[in-house]
Structure 1
């Protein structure tokens, strides 16, 4: 297992730091998210390839990570190309050392979220599927559909010229203010649960995958940044304040 994690970390940071050099020279962040999701797909595929047995649960788990990476990576890349820039990097893209920190953090994040899958893919010897696998895969399916549908609804909303400058309150966005983030947390939680029947000892620390995802999205770079931006744009709009008051932030039906 150590060999799998070591090789994965070396490839991960090799890609991130190489991309940092190119991004710093070009002063662009346009392929930042694509590099992250692409690295996740590559590491998952390689960790499965390195295991000669490739048992069913490993193939399913890996397929789920790859499906997530392909969908989200292409979605985010298309979005940033259309927007022209990612405002998260407004004070970063022209400063190589700050930019390096962002690319390094992405490398750490990738190893953390992939840890349950990388550990699972390093295992040998098959066992019967348990309720943990079925529960985890179900959570992943719900989360993946939530995230994909929320992204689709928001994209369609903003592509309508009549909605320029407006905020979305329809579809899943009428139930919670951040349904895409709820989906992201659910799917990584599911992947930990489905791998947990093969985890023991220190390997259970790979629960950091869903925990870190939840912390980043709810406390650092996800919800806080979006809601701060929302208040700057619509903070004086009574309808927006009403939406904030009446719509749960993340968990449906909890005000």
Structure 2
């Protein structure tokens, strides 16, 4: 419990940037919190780390730094802010109480997401096959989302007024969100052999579906925005009709009508 509370405190500190701009609670603050949690795990359990658990913690740090760095860079671009004007609710419409609620609930989710690593370290479990399987899955997810972001940035520089349908975007329309889901699937899978009680299992079960829900919510917002921007383009409509929105080879082409995805 002590380690869990320390990680929660780190997540709260890292994501407090959202009080400046509330969307940062779940964007820049998200990446910063995951990175800081990774650092916290390395510090808290420095005397009992194995190659596997140290690699898991390091991967969280790399994941968080990459995501936060990318989002800071994107947010600093004048063209991005101009394009998103009117798409994101301004801070003026968000009360302090609502901001506190988002801050606390998001920070708790970030700790729950990383809890499989915490439980392995806290219970002094040895590195096993599932740890390495989870590492491989998470690393694959990190490569996927990094590649997708790089491909999208390149295409937007060359053809700023067009949707992206090259590279990984031929496989799914939201490969960066797919990479996120694969990353956290690896983290969850790595802990399947270490949950020592119902509380640990519940924490992990809450964390994993929680971030999957958030990713589908982000996908819905993106689809609505793309339909608004490109809906009159026959090429876009054809691309949308034949390319799954999130999961390869699964014929799910739209989620915008699923209003329960409001994350």
- Same fold, TM-score > 0.5, yes or no: yes
Alpha carbons 2:10, 2:36 under 8 Å: kept: no
Counterpart in the other structure of 1:229? 225
- Larger mean Cα displacement after TM superposition, 206-215 or 234-243: 206-215
Alignment of 1:209-248 (within 5 A): 209-218=207-216, 220=217, 222-248=218-244
Secondary structure of the equivalent of 1:198? coil
Secondary structure of the equivalent of 1:212? helix
Counterpart in the other structure of 1:60? 55
Alpha carbons 2:38, 2:57 under 8 Å: kept: yes
RMSD: 2.4
CA shift in 2, pair 1:65/1:208, >3 Å: same
Counterpart in the other structure of 1:129? 128
Once the two structures are TM-superposed, the CA of residue 109 in structure 1 deviates from its matched residue by: 2.5
1:204 aligns with 2:201: yes
Output the TM-score relative to the length of structure 1: 0.85
Alignment of 1:76-95 (within 5 A): 76-82=71-77, 83-84=80-81, 90-94=88-92, 95=94
The count of residues paired between Structure 1 and Structure 2 equals 243
Alpha carbons 1:148, 1:180 under 8 Å: kept: yes
Secondary structure of the equivalent of 1:45? helix
Alignment of 1:171-182 (within 5 A): 171-182=167-178
Alpha carbons 1:47, 1:122 under 8 Å: kept: no
Once the two structures are TM-superposed, the CA of residue 174 in structure 1 deviates from its matched residue by: 0.8
CA shift in 2, pair 1:76/1:237, >3 Å: same
Structure 2 CA distance, aligned partners of 1:40 and 1:250?
A: 23
Cα deviation per residue 1:161-193 (whole Å; 9 max; x = unaligned)?
xx1221001111011111111111011110111
Cα deviation per residue 1:25-49 (whole Å; 9 max; x = unaligned)?
xx67568633322222222222231
Counterpart in the other structure of 2:115? 115
CA shift in 2, pair 1:32/1:186, >3 Å: closer
Structure 2 CA distance, aligned partners of 1:192 and 1:92?
A: 34
Can you give the 5+ residue segments of structure 1 that lack an aligned partner in the other structure? none
Structure 2 CA distance, aligned partners of 1:89 and 1:142?
A: 31
CA shift in 2, pair 1:179/1:16, >3 Å: closer
Can you give the 5+ residue segments of structure 2 that lack an aligned partner in the other structure? 252-263
Once the two structures are TM-superposed, the CA of residue 89 in structure 1 deviates from its matched residue by: 7.8
Cα deviation per residue 1:176-213 (whole Å; 9 max; x = unaligned)?
11111111101111011123222222212213333212
Cα deviation per residue 1:9-59 (whole Å; 9 max; x = unaligned)?
233224444x345x1xxx675686333222222222222312231222220
CA shift in 2, pair 1:14/1:231, >3 Å: same
Once the two structures are TM-superposed, the CA of residue 128 in structure 1 deviates from its matched residue by: 5.3
Larger RCO: Structure 1 or Structure 2 (Cα < 8 Å, ≥ 6 residues apart)? 1
Counterpart in the other structure of 1:40? 34
Cα deviation per residue 1:58-81 (whole Å; 9 max; x = unaligned)?
201101111111111101110111
Output the TM-score relative to the length of structure 2: 0.83
CA shift in 2, pair 1:88/1:50, >3 Å: farther
